[in-house]
Structure 1
Amino acid sequence: MQETEEYSFSANRMLKGILRDGVRVFKGITYARYQPFSEAVPERLQSGTDATASGTVCPQRTSRTNPSDGGEPLAVVGDGRLCLSAYSPEHGSNLPVMVWIHGGSFVRGGSEEKRYSCERMAREGNVVVFKISYRLGAQGYLYLPGSGICNLGLKDQKTALRWIREYAAEFGGNPQDITVFGQSAGALSIAALIATAQEPLPFRKAILQSAPLGITITPSEASGITRAFLRRLRKAPEEATVDELLDAQEKILGMKAGLTFMPMVEDFLNIPEQVRNSGLKIVIGYAGDDASPFVSKKGRLLGTFLGRKAVRHLTESIFSKPSEEYAARLEAAGIEVTRYFIGWHPEGNRFGACHCIELPFLLGDRSEWADAKFLKGMTDREYEDNCRDLVRAWTSFAREGIFPGGGILQVR
């Protein structure tokens, strides 16, 4: 694999990135900065920026929530800085733009993880791809509306999308043709961005992968979580250190079924007037055994009769039924929707077609997913075929608005 570090000339600036096999990679660009529990302030893109090293992810204790994922050393944690990375075909201009929003239960993960590399999508799909980080846990989703503290992580995502629209052309992208795609908490974030829209959306198309739309929150529940958090913190949030915030946060994780910290959106299935009949196109889907990694946390239950029953019930109640209801609501609002389903899994693998099953075929390379338990038993041919089919589907949707099926994708 040929790799060089060089300055890349854009429309108005010169940025130092990495050129690798026909794709320019720009890592760790600061798109905004923030003070504790305040809205982020966008950062301007500066000529001469060195974007050859990965940026930071937002404060957290560990990078993994899904026990089937395997492990990865946590990317560098940093406070006060919000990062994104960009992948651009070497000679492209005015290309469709895709924006990846990572998952992690709103408390862990970050776009700067190596396994979230988007080089393959940029190279094979001829698209510009950005991946963004945003504030997590209490720093992103503490609910104190009287103090202006609410949905700060979601606001970070909006800030990132505005930044990308402003600078997409610098990376060879078309700012008027943006597709967002996200998995799990990232997909739920997209639903939240739509549900809370008060102006035209900054994207034209969206792919929601295994959105846990069956997990909801009420103002009363969010207020209860805030009270429990503050009791353990014993000081004003903005006066606490990062370690104190994370310590208090860890003590209350799990006090609410599903997600403790999440966007405060009373109806994730809401379709505002600004979105109805807007020309927005949506792809939404799930995996047949989405819930299996979470059932696997319950000792030896996975693979037993009761375990299989639990996986079916939770997959249906959290992922499949709410996704179908959301798709129906979108269609009733004049929005074009394509549904997909993934039932593939390596033969004999006890996790089945589980949560995150599609990610290794879209992002990163095989070596970066080598420890993922849900891939045990996969053949080289299956890996190559799945990569081809999924990258083709995702990038075809970004370019042409058409989401083709085939292979492991059942499109309906």
Structure 2
Amino acid sequence: MVVVHLPQGSYEGGTQGDVNCYHGIPYAQPFERFKSPKPVTKASTSSGVQDATKFGPICPQNASRLEPHVYGRWPAPPNGGHPDESDCCVLSVYQPESAAQKSGQKLPVIVYMHGGAWQTGSSEINWYTGTALARDGNCVVVTINYRVGILGYMYHQGKDLACGTEDHILALEFVRTHIELFGGDPSNITAAGQSAGAYNTQLLLDLRPDLFERAIIMSSPANMAFTVENGNKIAEAVKSSLPSGQTPQTASVTELLQAQASASVKVGGLAQFAPVIADGKPPGGRHTVKDAASRKDIWVTWMQHDGSAFAALAGGFETKASDELSIKITDDVFKNPSIELAQRLAKAGHKVGTLEHQWTPEGFKLGATHCLDLPLILGDAEAWKLSPMRGKASNEEWDRRGSAVRRAFGQFARTGEVPEVLEGTEIKSIS
């Protein structure tokens, strides 16, 4: 039995190999719809030792559009927690046994923020377990849940930050305050995320850079700026899609999700719910570094064929990485914007490195597509076994390549240095 004692209460976790896993730990009190999250307190949690061996609640959501082409499951996420609107602000912690020994040496911390176009995803499903990353990277890994879709990112006039963004900030404040009790170093936190989670990380570099020392930004739609006009447009589409007499505040969760799906079709585009950027300028690099304490180590990455998964939404299973639309989406939405983000951040004074993932599993037409880096970092063979991304590559090959990526993540979290050689990738430094 492994138990961690936090000020809000005690939690019993499980063990996988030499990594202790704690799931469903709340970082916010239960909340009302569209309300800002409040820090969790002892009074807001149950008494006694809480069971943290099973996944916690996930934010209610529709299925990911990429599941048929990338994830390979339809319609529900695998082995995840149950949907719960008011209790989904939870996180999971993966603690190497070396961190649990309380020897005095604290391990670096990686806080991972999942993607999903701000409409899907959760830390409480087995695609995103951090066991292997904690083991191979020798770091404490935290994966955070946050509100998505209408519940997290529908625009409300007069509200500066989306609920989902507020969730990110509170989760990182929780980690900063409590991670030492898991053997993590609160002065060495790396914020990491992929796709929408990468954009969230990019945004936090402007909003709350005090919450972390390093950042890994993976396949961000880095030049996107979701304006107030965009936010109002999707909000009105949601309202017009609800049953007569219902509002976003009064509708059931089922009605909200149905309205979200309808509104997404009406508005179109790759993203319909996102953090609103009032001035219309993409985040990242807004503040010039003033001293060593505010200078971040940042690693910006993208996939060689990021756009092919999205091209497949239009072209179906016959889509190839070499198709013109695949290349255009890769260049316009991910690759070139990521390079421009890296340049902005470097110009602001940060230390920045870039990486392009180029490995394509044999037999997978979409190439090094969006999300293909995820099985190299998170989850395990069982979690990803139905994914088309696996191609004909063996579990051994996936693990060999994944181990190299996970060690590189750990090295970066520990020292801030981007490795010079990483199998199956191309690295070039901008600093």
- TM (norm. structure 2) is 0.88
2:197 matches 1:186: yes
Deviation track 1:297-326 (CA, whole Å, cap 9, x = no partner) reads 223574469x61111111000001111111
For residue 86 of structure 2, the aligned residue among 68, 80, 88 is 80
Give the match for residue 69 of structure 1.
71
Q: Give, in angstroms, the shift of residue 274 of structure 1.
A: 7.2
CA distance in 2, matches of 1:353, 1:226: 34
2:194 matches 1:215: no
Give the match for residue 268 of structure 1.
282
Give the match for residue 160 of structure 1.
171
Give the match for residue 102 of structure 2.
none
Deviates more, 1:69-78 or 1:54-63: 69-78
Give the match for residue 51 of structure 1.
52
Deviates more, 1:176-185 or 1:13-22: 13-22
CA distance in 2, matches of 1:62, 1:352: 23
Give the match for residue 314 of structure 1.
329
* Residues 1:275 and 1:235: Cα distance change in structure 2 (over 3 Å): farther
**Map 1:361-400 → 2, pairs under 5 A:** 361-400=376-415
Deviation track 1:264-312 (CA, whole Å, cap 9, x = no partner) reads 123223423376651211100111111111111223574469x611111
Please tell me the residue identity of whatever aligns with 1:285: T
2:17 matches 1:21: yes
CA distance in 1, matches of 2:81, 2:65: 11
Work out whether residues 362 and 392 of structure 2, in 8 Å CA contact, stay in contact via their aligned partners in 1: yes
Aligned partner of residue 422 in structure 2, secondary structure: coil
Give the match for residue 229 of structure 1.
238
CA distance in 2, matches of 1:411, 1:328: 15
Please tell me the residue identity of whatever aligns with 2:251: A
Q: Give, in angstroms, the shift of residue 160 of structure 1.
A: 0.4
2:9 matches 1:7: no
Give the match for residue 263 of structure 2.
252
CA distance in 1, matches of 2:270, 2:339: 20
Work out whether residues 65 and 105 of structure 1, in 8 Å CA contact, stay in contact via their aligned partners in 2: no
Work out whether residues 69 and 372 of structure 1, in 8 Å CA contact, stay in contact via their aligned partners in 2: yes
For residue 300 of structure 2, the aligned residue among 281, 284, 301 is 284
Deviates more, 1:255-264 or 1:402-411: 402-411
CA distance in 1, matches of 2:61, 2:334: 26
2:106 matches 1:94: yes
* Residues 1:251 and 1:392: Cα distance change in structure 2 (over 3 Å): same
CA distance in 1, matches of 2:355, 2:37: 35
Q: Give, in angstroms, the shift of residue 251 of structure 1.
A: 0.6
Deviates more, 1:332-341 or 1:250-259: 250-259
CA distance in 1, matches of 2:396, 2:23: 31
Give the match for residue 175 of structure 1.
186
Deviation track 1:143-192 (CA, whole Å, cap 9, x = no partner) reads 1223x374111111101000111111111111111101111111011112
Deviates more, 1:107-116 or 1:223-232: 223-232
2:292 matches 1:296: no
CA distance in 2, matches of 1:183, 1:14: 31
* Residues 1:235 and 1:275: Cα distance change in structure 2 (over 3 Å): farther
- Number of residues of Structure 1 aligned to a counterpart in Structure 2: 404
Deviates more, 1:103-112 or 1:64-73: 64-73
Question: Tell me, which stretches of 5 or more residues in structure 2 are unaligned?
Answer: 100-104
For residue 129 of structure 1, the aligned residue among 120, 141, 156 is 141
CA distance in 2, matches of 1:101, 1:187: 7
Q: Give, in angstroms, the shift of residue 244 of structure 1.
A: 1.9
CA distance in 2, matches of 1:124, 1:362: 10
* Residues 1:308 and 1:238: Cα distance change in structure 2 (over 3 Å): same
Give the match for residue 239 of structure 1.
250
Work out whether residues 341 and 410 of structure 1, in 8 Å CA contact, stay in contact via their aligned partners in 2: yes
Work out whether residues 12 and 170 of structure 1, in 8 Å CA contact, stay in contact via their aligned partners in 2: no
Work out whether residues 288 and 348 of structure 2, in 8 Å CA contact, stay in contact via their aligned partners in 1: no
Aligned partner of residue 216 in structure 2, secondary structure: strand
Q: Give, in angstroms, the shift of residue 136 of structure 1.
A: 0.7
CA distance in 2, matches of 1:44, 1:340: 41
* Residues 1:304 and 1:272: Cα distance change in structure 2 (over 3 Å): closer
For residue 33 of structure 2, the aligned residue among 33, 36, 40 is 36
Aligned partner of residue 49 in structure 1, secondary structure: strand
CA distance in 1, matches of 2:204, 2:53: 30
For residue 331 of structure 1, the aligned residue among 336, 346, 350 is 346
CA distance in 2, matches of 1:382, 1:409: 15
* Residues 1:270 and 1:340: Cα distance change in structure 2 (over 3 Å): closer
- TM (norm. structure 1) is 0.92
Please tell me the residue identity of whatever aligns with 1:87: Y
Identity of aligned residues (%): 31
* Residues 1:304 and 1:271: Cα distance change in structure 2 (over 3 Å): closer
CA distance in 2, matches of 1:409, 1:250: 36
* Residues 1:14 and 1:80: Cα distance change in structure 2 (over 3 Å): closer
CA distance in 2, matches of 1:209, 1:248: 30
CA distance in 2, matches of 1:245, 1:13: 33
Aligned partner of residue 296 in structure 1, secondary structure: helix
Question: Tell me, which stretches of 5 or more residues in structure 1 are unaligned?
Answer: none
Q: Give, in angstroms, the shift of residue 336 of structure 1.
A: 0.5
